[in-house]
Structure 1
Amino acid sequence: MKLRGRHVILSLVLLVSGFLVAISYEHTKQDSKVVQLNDQEWEKDYYYRQQLINLEEKNRELKQDLENKRKEIQNLEEELGGQTETIDNYVDRKLELQMITGELPVTGRGVRITLSDSDYVPSEENANQYIVHERHIHRVVNELLSAGAEAVSINGQRVFRDSFINCVGPVISVDGVTHPAPFTISAIGDQEVMYSSINLTDGLVDELISDNIEVEMEKMENIQMSARVDQERG
């Protein structure tokens, strides 16, 4: 009976030992697998971290490049802003010159001066001394231009600095177009300056009156003059 009891105890110890060894081995295998998985995860994490670092570095480079481009655009806008102002000035000047040379029609405030032959001509006097001559027209036109007139017309026909005005008997010829008296000379520009310039004491008006020319002056709020091309077509 004692021998059998020892065998049972020994068998039980061996069984328990074997069970513990088996459990320990299985646990060891499981721990080994966990460590191996952690290594893989670490490698993946390291790879993704490197990718993230590279992307962040690229993002910083792109941001810096974008900032540089913004500064370049700002500099270009400032440069173009200055050029735009210069171009606008050129355009305004071009339009002004085109109006002066007659390439464009012009409208504005100004003055109108009408020169008429004298109604009274003494029988003993020479009639030529009581009619409007080309010199009278020239005097008025030149005085208006000197006073800053932007555009001038005679009986609706626009005249220019190179226009030819001459007397043909009782009529005036302007660039080959004849006009009978009375002669209405219109000018666009500063009303006050032109009016005062023509109407000075002992000035042009007094000179015309002394030449037996009847003079009428008035300020106009809206004078329209066509372009040179339109006149030539007309």
Structure 2
Amino acid sequence: MKLKGRHVIWSLVFLVFGFLLTYSYQQTKNESQIIQLSDSEWEKDYFYRQQLINLEEKNRELRMELSSNRQEIQLLEEELGKQEETLGDYVELKKQLQMLTGELPIKGKGMQVTLRDSDYIPTEENANQYIVHDRHMHLVINELFSAGAKAISINGQRIYKDSFISCVGPVVSVDGVPHPAPFTIAAIGDPEVLDVSLNLTNGVVDILLSDNIEVEIEKKKDIEMRARVS
């Protein structure tokens, strides 16, 4: 009985072992099978692969073209920036020239020179020797321009390159407009330079004083002059 029981156990073991071997062999066989593709399937696979390669190549070319275009745009932007800066400089230069010629108003720091007739005129002397004349005005104006004045006015009337100043009786005419004494000559420029130029030894101020003209000089932080009326 014991021998028979052992035979049954061994039979069950061999049966299970055989089943496992058979199952393992079958799985290995199934997994090792090579999938066979038909000619049409091979053609489709090749076509799609080729399309993918072409797309990747096209994308690479487009990326290179995009990078090149960006560089060109950057260069153009830099060039336009330089042109705008140059144009801005020209516009500013034109504006400065227009202010100097009187086409536009101008303002800035500078100096104010006031010329007055002498308060004391001896009875035995000629009164003309104690009053301001057009030559005195020209003397001051020429010195101020030589010292770098950008704009000059007499009693608020702007002086231009073609302005005409002359004595007309007791007044001075500036471009046909009469101005009585005292005469205030305003100049826009560096006040320090203008002051030194006027006060040179034997210079403008000394000449005016020797001609019995009263001179008052004052530095100004803000002088404004209107544009020329056409």
For residues 66 and 207 of structure 1, the distance between their equivalents in structure 2, rounded to whole angstroms, comes to: 76
Q: Which of 105-114 and 90-99 deviates more? A: 90-99
SS in 2 for 1:228: coil
* Deviation at residue 82 of structure 1 after TM alignment: 3.0
- Unaligned runs of 5+ residues in structure 1 are 1-30
* Deviation at residue 66 of structure 1 after TM alignment: 1.4
In the alignment, which residue of structure 2 is the partner of 1:186?
A: 186
Q: Which of 158-167 and 47-56 deviates more? A: 47-56
Amino acid corresponding to residue 52 of structure 2 in structure 1: L
In the alignment, which residue of structure 2 is the partner of 1:13?
A: none
- 1:24-35 equivalence runs, <5 A: 35=36
* Deviation at residue 221 of structure 1 after TM alignment: 0.7
Q: Normalising to structure 1: TM-score of the pair?
A: 0.79
Give per-residue Cα distances to partners, 1:189-230, cap 9 Å, x unaligned. Answer: 11100111111122100100111110000100111111112x
For residues 170 and 48 of structure 2, the distance between their equivalents in structure 1, rounded to whole angstroms, comes to: 104
Greater helix fraction, Structure 1 or Structure 2: 1
Give per-residue Cα distances to partners, 1:53-74, cap 9 Å, x unaligned. Answer: 1211211221222122122222
Amino acid corresponding to residue 126 of structure 1 in structure 2: N
In the alignment, which residue of structure 1 is the partner of 2:18?
A: none
For residues 190 and 197 of structure 1, the distance between their equivalents in structure 2, rounded to whole angstroms, comes to: 11
In the alignment, which residue of structure 2 is the partner of 1:45?
A: 45
SS in 2 for 1:119: coil
For residues 48 and 116 of structure 1, the distance between their equivalents in structure 2, rounded to whole angstroms, comes to: 102
Q: Does 1:80 align with 2:80?
A: yes
For residues 174 and 49 of structure 1, the distance between their equivalents in structure 2, rounded to whole angstroms, comes to: 93
Across the two proteins, how many residue pairs are aligned to each other? Answer: 197
- 1:210-229 equivalence runs, <5 A: 210-229=210-229
Q: Normalising to structure 2: TM-score of the pair?
A: 0.80
Give per-residue Cα distances to partners, 1:171-202, cap 9 Å, x unaligned. Answer: 11111111100000001111100111111122
RMSD over aligned Cα, in angstroms?
A: 1.8
